[in-house]
Structures are given as C-alpha cells and as structure tokens.
Amino acid sequence: LPQMIALQSQLSVFAHTARYIKNPRLRQVFSFHPLLVGGNPFTTTSIYSLIHALERKWGVHFAMGGTGEVVAGLVRLMEEVGIELDLGRTVDEITVENEQVRGIRLADGTTMPADLVVANADAPFVYKKMIAPEHRPSWTDRRIERQRYSMGLFVIYFGTTRRYPQLAHHEILLGPRYKGLIKDVFEGDHLPEDFSLYLHAPTRTDPSMAPDGCESMYALVPVPNLRANIDWSSAGPELRDRVLAYIENAVCPGLVSHVVEDFYVTPEHFQNRLLSLHGAGFSIQPTLTQSAYFRFHNRSEDIGNLFFVGAGTQPGAGMPGVLSSAKVMERLLPEAPARRDRVTVTAPKLVQDNQIDEFRDAAAAASVMTRYGTTFSWAASLLDKGLHRDLSILYAFCRYVDNLVDERPDDPEVPEILAQIRHDLERGQSAIPPVALFLDLARQHQLPIVCALDLVNGVASDLGEVRFAETNKLIRYCYRVASTVGVMICGVLGVDEPEALPFAADLGIAMQLTNIARDIQEDFDNGRIYLPASIIDPALVTRVLTDRADPHEHEALQAAVVELLDLAERYYRSADKGMRFLPRRARWAILTASRSYEAIGDLIRQHGTGYWRQRVYTSRLRKVRAILGTGWGMFFDRGDRHAPRRVEHERGLHNALSGLLSVSQLGY
C-alpha cells in the first residue's frame, strides 16, 4: 500500500497520462490500453500504465498458429502428465457440504464426486449461478451485482481473398469521440452510433493463418455489456456491416467485396457460451478496489477446496494474466496422489545392455560428451571443473535420449523406455543411470523437469517418418529438442534473469537448424525430412538424395538449405544479444559453441551442391578463427548480470516457459 500511494495509484490511467501530455489526441493514444483488459481508462487505476513499460521491455509475442495453439499446448501438457479430459458436457452446479466442495452436477443430472474443484468459468458467474446462496456468505448475490463489470465485446472474424500488406499485425482504429464514447460503452443502455476498434491481422507474423494470397483477421469493438438494453438479434447484423465498411474506408480498400467468409459474436455469446456474467468480455473491471488482492481470490473464501482461474481472479485479465492465474494453482493446490495406472516398468532392457555403461556415472558422462560432442566438449573445457562436470551430465542425459531414437528407431522397446523415462522424471527417481544423474543435477540447480519432459517428447516425435509442412512447425520442433536444453544450461550456469531465457531459446533453435542443414542425407536415410514443404517439395528432396534428380534440382535443394541457414543466422544474431546475461567466463564457452556451429553453416554454403554426401566438420583452427572474428564488446558488457540465484522465481518462470510453445525472442 505505501508503494501504491507513492505511485499515486488512486489516479486513473487517463489522469496519470494527462499530467505529462497535453495534446488530446496523444492523451487518447497513451491511455486507451486499459480497454484491452476490460478497463475504463477514466476509472482504471494508473498501475495499469505499466502495460506500456512491460511491452517496451519484453516485447509483444504471438503464439504461432494462434491462441488455439496455446490451448493445444496446454492439452498436450495435461495428457503428458496423465490428466484425463472429459469435454463437451455442461456443469450446472458445484455441490457443497459442510463448507467443503463435494463435486459437481452436470446438466444431464449426472453427479461427479471430487476432492477439489478448479473452475475456469467466470468467478462471479460460478458463485451466482452454480453455488447455492447458503454456501457463500461472503459472495452474496447483492455483492456480486455491486461489482463493476467490464464492457462487452462485439468481435467479427473474417477471411479475405486478397492481402493487405499495409496492415500491421495489430491496428487500433480510434473513432471521433473518446470520453463520451467510453462513457456510453461502460454506462450507457444503448449501442453508440460511433465506435473504436482493434484490428488483428495475424498473417503479418504467421502466413499459415490463411491460404496463400488471403488474409485471416478479426475486428474487436468495445460495446455495452448485457446490462444495457440492446437487441443483438437486430443490432448484430447492422454493426457487422458498419464495422466492415469502416475498415474498408479507413485501411483496407475494397474489403467488403473480398470478404469470403465471416461470423461474429456478441456479449450474448460471452454469457451463454463462455459463462461470463452479464456477457462481460473481461469479467470485472480493473479499478483500484477490484485489482490485485481485491479481485476474486484464486482460493474461495467461503468453500474449502474450491479454486478459481481466469480473467476475474488474481492477477487479472488478458492472456498473460489468465495464464498466470493458472500458474498460481501450482502453489495453491495440494499435491495429487500418485496414479496407479501409470507406466511401472522399473528395469528396461537397455539398463542391462552394454550400451548403458558409457552413461554409468559423472566421469563416464564426460567421456560421452568428448565422444559425441566435440564442439560442446571443447566449449565446456573453458569452464571450471564443477560446471564442466554438470554440463557433461546434462549433455549425457540428452545424448542418451537422442541415441535411443537415432540408433534404435525400429526397436519396439524404445517407446516403452521413453515412457519409463517420462515416468521417472515425474516421480524424481530412476534406475537408469543417465536419468538418475540428471535428476540429481536438476535437484542441485533447481532445473525445470518440464523442460526435460519437453525434450523427451520432442525426440520421441522422430520415431517413424518425419515431415514438416511449414517453417513455424519446424521451429517448434527445434524449440522442444534444443531450446529446452538452452534453458536448462542457463540454470546450470546460474543465470536467473527472466529476460535471458528467450535468447538461450534462440541459440538452441539456431544450432538445431544448423544440425538439420548439415545432416540432410543422414536424416533422410532414417526416414526424416526436416526441410519444410513450404520451402521445398519433399519429393524433390527424395529424388536428389536417391540420385534420381536433375542438376537444377540439386541447386534447388542447396537453395533450400541456404534459406534454412539464413533463418539460423537470424537466431544466432538474436542469441548474441543475450551474452551479456552470462558470467564472463561462461560467455567464452557459449560463444565458442555458437561460433563453431556457425562455421559449419559457412562450410555448407561454400561446398555448394552435393555437400550432403559427406558430413561437414570444422577444424579447430577454423573454430578459433570464427571466435576471434566476433565483436569483443559482448565480453565486457557493462555490469555482470550474474546475480544470486532466486530459486523459486526461476523455477516458476522455467515451468511457465516450457511445455507450451517457444519463447523465442524472434516470436516463434
């Protein structure tokens, strides 16, 4: 509270902005952003001016494939840890007895007992519509109705048969009025004649969101919620036409004639389908008395073992806030009992094989890195003995998992062994030496096990035939099998700054892309074509690598490889910006590995067509030249960021970053 007073949090975002900016149009530009989390700029606390600072510092990211890919990532994560999903059924009531949750009752009358319930429907809707009044003395109907709710949303989704390259990914189109329009939206009982809108054109970042030559967009218009007297059956079609005509006149000439498909949702959709009280688009408003502690709590004050996530709970609305509300559950939920139907193999055949001997202890792990990863071994030798040992253990674990798939791709036992590794990682102990060594390392450095699980699942995807339709799907694969390792290396090196991790992810992607460019023939022989079909036809790759191609097709394959290396180059340059976060001695080691891999790419470019017939290696002299050719400034960046470890913060951050999508600085 003292800090909030010092920051003058009692001011609204608009009042705070007006203290520094006089021009009315600039005031509008610098204060409208609370609308993006359901707030009125004239009543939302000035704390939310931080949105500008956060976006400037960490950037704005997009999940390739759209928000649905975030959902799909969460689904994959739940399935990987053994959560069963039961979809397509409606919950009518949360049953309570003696102030303790007892389960749920479905719309068809089925009851399901439960030790605890986590509700991701809107908290005020759940309290008012799903829990009997006698069980909620704190959240009475009267108190719920006294809350100030966000505006409603009218969202029209549409596809066009032409592209509009003049659009940015995000566009804000402001109408002729500001304060008056905001008042009508939040307090009025009718649909205003004018509007402002947010236009989203994701194909600027992710062309796969629409067919070639087309656009996939949506326009979001703030409108009154269902407390207003609006007949959406007639207002909806009329507003749809007005919005499309406005966009056509403002930024997209000829839009209406090129719209090939569209649909829209109104506040009724938010209430009836998404269970948001009054059809509010963002639950309750983020006013001072409805922010932070004063929002709906993640743990119910009235009912034991009832929990909430979503826009109406702490910390707040918007994608980052909603996902963070789910992260809160990690600390609040009691530990779940171990499932009895999980994989219980304790001594897979490979443990008895001679192959396992090379992974038996830390000394053997160092030999593994020397044998399989000369570049990494050379780079790690620049570190002190303790870090060299720890990185050897991490490398040996990754190599062990990789070897399972690469050296025994047709062995029916391999999927079973991978399942055992997942099980062992989750329970924290293993009879498999490299996994046991890694688990000890993870406990020592507080490494996120979910990164290791991501790695195992990424490597497991190489079983069978491998094809990628689009570049962004290849990048996601690179994230799972390489960026996760970069994040764990950060933990071993003691790097705990959150902003360092995207750069580590980028270096992993860059090096994996270089591996793919180098190993095209070897991968093909194992049934894998990593070059995306969006870059080159897999059939052409097959003809070249089986000696059935014309000379111009060899050139096409080389051009595709160079395109992949150009993409890797972008990631290397992004990763360079993160070197300042490393301890100075570690910068030498990481840069050695990075530049050595870049040198592989240079050799591939120089060899031209046919290089794939013999694996490209770089001499130590060439590696030294590559390292010496870099800028020295990154070694002496002002201020060594090697700060004391903040374990709990780091663990939560790593868990949030892994298991979903890439956290690349470049936006994949």
Q: What is the pLDDT of residues 537-586, one digit of tens each?
A: 999 999 999 988 888 999 999 999 999 999 999 999 999 999 889 888 78
Predicted TM-score (pTM) of this structure = 0.56
Q: For residues 166 and 251, is the Cβ–Cβ distance under 8 A?
A: yes
Residue 331 or 304, more confident: 304
Cα separation of 539 and 532, whole Å? 12
Q: For residues 433 and 360, is the Cβ–Cβ distance under 8 A?
A: yes
Identify the CA nearest to 409 among candidates 509, 526, 583.
526
Asked whether the predicted pLDDT for residue 636 surpasses 70, the reply is: no
Estimate to the nearest angstrom the gap between the alpha carbon of 214 and the chain centroid: 26
- DSSP assignments along 66-127, one per residue: -HHHHHHHHHHHHHHTT-----S--EEEEEEETTEEEEEEETTS-EEE-S-EEE-S-HHHII
pLDDT at position 344? 37
Cα separation of 201 and 207, whole Å? 10
Asked whether the predicted pLDDT for residue 658 surpasses 60, the reply is: no
Q: Please, which contacts does 352-355 make with residues 24 or more away whose CB atoms are closer than 8 Å? A: 355/403
Q: Which amino acid is at 358?
A: E
Q: For residues 495 and 643, is the Cβ–Cβ distance under 8 A?
A: no
pLDDT band at 367 (very low <50, low <70, confident <90, very high): confident
pLDDT tens for each residue of 53-102: 888 888 888 888 898 999 999 898 888 888 889 988 889 999 999 889 99
Estimate to the nearest angstrom the gap between the alpha carbon of 575 and the chain centroid: 18
Average pLDDT (360-384) is 70
Highest mean pLDDT among 252-261, 417-426, 651-660: 252-261
Average pLDDT (318-329) is 89
Average pLDDT (442-471) is 90
Which H/E stretch holds residue 223? strand 215-223
The token pair that represents 261 in the structure block = 């498909």
Q: For residues 430 and 424, is the Cβ–Cβ distance under 8 A?
A: yes
Estimate to the nearest angstrom the gap between the alpha carbon of 611 and the chain centroid: 36
Average pLDDT (584-609) is 85
Asked whether the predicted pLDDT for residue 153 surpasses 80, the reply is: yes
Residue 626 or 218, more confident: 218
Asked whether the predicted pLDDT for residue 50 surpasses 90, the reply is: no
Asked whether the predicted pLDDT for residue 654 surpasses 60, the reply is: no
pLDDT at position 78? 86
**Among the listed ranges 35-44, 177-186, 624-633, which one has the minimum average pLDDT value?**
624-633
Residue 642 or 359, more confident: 359
User: CB 587: neighbour CB atoms within 10 A?
Assistant: 19
Residue 40 or 294, more confident: 40
Asked whether the predicted pLDDT for residue 629 surpasses 70, the reply is: no
- DSSP assignments along 141-203, one per residue: HHHHHHSPBPPEEEEEEEEESS--TT--SEEEE--S-SHHHHHHHHH-SS--S---EEEE-GG
**Among the listed ranges 285-299, 430-444, 621-635, which one has the minimum average pLDDT value?**
621-635
Q: For residues 441 and 491, is the Cβ–Cβ distance under 8 A?
A: no
Q: For residues 417 and 350, is the Cβ–Cβ distance under 8 A?
A: yes
pLDDT at position 648? 36
pLDDT band at 365 (very low <50, low <70, confident <90, very high): low
Q: Which amino acid is at 126?
A: V
pLDDT at position 532? 94
The percent of residues in the chain predicted with pLDDT above 70, rounded, is 85
Burial zone of 53 (CB within 10 Å; 0-12 exposed, 13-18 middle, 19+ buried): exposed
Q: What is the mean pLDDT of the chain?
A: 84
Q: Which residue in this structure is represented by tokens 């050799």?
A: 603
pLDDT at position 396? 87
User: CB 645: neighbour CB atoms within 10 A?
Assistant: 14
Average pLDDT (208-230) is 94
pLDDT at position 341? 44
**Which residues lie below 8 Å from residue 305, measured CB to CB, with a gap of 6+?**
100, 101, 115, 116, 117
Asked whether the predicted pLDDT for residue 11 surpasses 70, the reply is: yes
Q: Which amino acid is at 287?
A: T
pLDDT at position 346? 39
Identify the CA nearest to 283 among candidates 401, 150, 476.
150
pLDDT band at 335 (very low <50, low <70, confident <90, very high): low
Which H/E stretch holds residue 652? helix 647-657
Highest mean pLDDT among 246-260, 416-430, 591-605: 246-260
**Among the listed ranges 125-134, 300-309, 639-648, which one has the minimum average pLDDT value?**
639-648
Identify the bridge partners of residue 94 per DSSP, sorted by sequence position.
104
pLDDT at position 633? 47
Identify the CA nearest to 325 among candidates 96, 121, 608.
121
Q: For residues 649 and 501, is the Cβ–Cβ distance under 8 A?
A: no
Q: Calculate the dihedral angle through the C-alpha atoms of 479, 482, 487, 492, rounding to the nearest 10 degrees.
A: 170
What backbone phi and psi angles, to 5 degrees, belong to 199? -115, 125
The percent of residues in the chain predicted with pLDDT above 90, rounded, is 52
